[in-house]
A and B are shown apart, each in its own frame.
Chain A
């Protein structure tokens, strides 16, 4: 158990509403990531963070923003949700000094109607 939680685990929201997903870790790992998983695409990186207030874009960042004000929390925000953002969202953590494998949270299933 890598000590990663995601909240909420399930959410249904309407098109145009803002949504924030939270990732919380107890491991003090420097790197945190947000992915989305869709059938036929595997996992695709949305944004990642390499320290408090240090973030960068991934390959599918349009329509998403992130914030990291504390080491343990990484927030993913959909400013105005669209149906194309219906997906399963995974958070992951990594600490280079302990190896480069990423450890994943349980996922959040988001449905935008």
Chain B
């Protein structure tokens, strides 16, 4: 069975600093995908970034990058130059190769402070 673990229930970071949100996964599949979503206090779920298991380079989208370490089964989200608007809940999710369902972690609440 697939499992996604986010061990940091809450994180604080100062504005303009970088922050890493941890995500580890457990799967026996060779083909899979990893996703990160942001949920601000307003409640909507916003797709941020995707990494495929066969992608050789780490995914990047603006200030977001995914630190993908396949051997360690980790897919950490790195947010550079944090902004107050980055304060939100962040969810890691995994898609099994050949499947079309996502399994989500329990989330990390990030607060950006002045």
Contacts and interface: CB of A to CB of B under 8 A. Distances in A.
Contact of A96 (B43, B91, B100): B100
Contact of A104 (B45, B50, B101, B105): B45
Contacts of A43: 45, 91, 93, 102, 104
Contacts, number: 47
A100 B106 contact: no
Interface string B83-103: 000000001010100001110
Interface in A74-113: 88, 90, 92, 94, 96, 99-104, 106-107
Contacts of A42: 91, 104-107
Interface of B: 33, 35, 37, 43-47, 50, 91, 93, 95, 100-102, 104-107
